[in-house]
Amino acid sequence: MNITARYFIVPLLLLAGLAVAAPDAGNLEALRGKLPLDRDPAPARIADPLKDQGIQDRDYIHQPPLIPHQVRDYEVDLKVNQCLSCHGWKNAASRNAPRVSPTHYENRDGLTLSDISPRRYFCLQCHVPQTGAEPLVDSTFMPVESLR
């Protein structure tokens, strides 16, 4: 068989094999189930947060604190950050809430800004509500000695 024929016949045979196997592909099910691609699945519901449990211990240095209250329906977008209505430096004392760390007011060059740094504005990138959910996988992780 010459080289030109090999470049055309081999791919055609492969495509023919895929066409024969294609009917089996109907038996596969995606993670989204039988839901059509133009519809979004309902979001998975995480167990309700543990409410008002106070400040929780951290397992490693620089671990972001957990959020000890519900944040469902909190508005955080480019114009509004509802977290700052309690945790911003202006209102924290009157709301009896922890203040946002001064590090959240620094830009990437270490300069202190008059408002929250854009890279720290979306709180849920790092902070998550605490919950009583069991771990998804077993872990042998141990906190650093100084945090025990």
Binding site listing: 69, 83, 86-87, 104, 123, 126-127
Q: Which residues are annotated as a binding site for heme c?
A: 69, 83, 86-87, 104, 123, 126-127
List Cα–Cα distances, 108 to 32, 103, 127, in angstroms: 39, 10, 19
Q: How far apart are CA 69 and CA 83, in angstroms?
A: 11
33 pairs with which residues across the strands?
A: 30
Please tell me the total number of residues recorded for the chain in this structure.
Answer: 148
Return the SS3 of 93.
helix
The CB-side HSE value for 6 (13 A sphere, CA atoms) comes to 3
